[in-house]
Structure 1
Amino acid sequence: MPSDVNFRANLWGMHSLGANVIIATIACGSLQEDVRPGELVFPDSVVD
């Protein structure tokens, strides 16, 4: 379950490795029929 993930520990781990910027995205679907569930895509624009 997503609520079981220790997000704080993950962020601290990235910090301890030297990360000073983290870019995070989330998507729940696509309006494009050619993008199937489970496919990896790279967003090039953001709708807020």
Structure 2
Amino acid sequence: MEPGEVAVYTIKLNPIACMFKPGKKLWLYVSSSDFPNFDRNHNIG
């Protein structure tokens, strides 16, 4: 990917307790993590 490039991904999720109406969007944060093996990495420096 290049900066500013838009990409579409399909991510399969396990059953959750939320229902989204068609056309709604879900904001997803991708972060490095191996919790609880390592403390949370907040990626703030």
TM-score (norm 1): 0.28
Give the number of the structure whose residues are more often helix, by fraction: 1
Q: Which has the higher contact order (CA 8 A, sep 6+)?
A: 2
TM-score (norm 2): 0.29
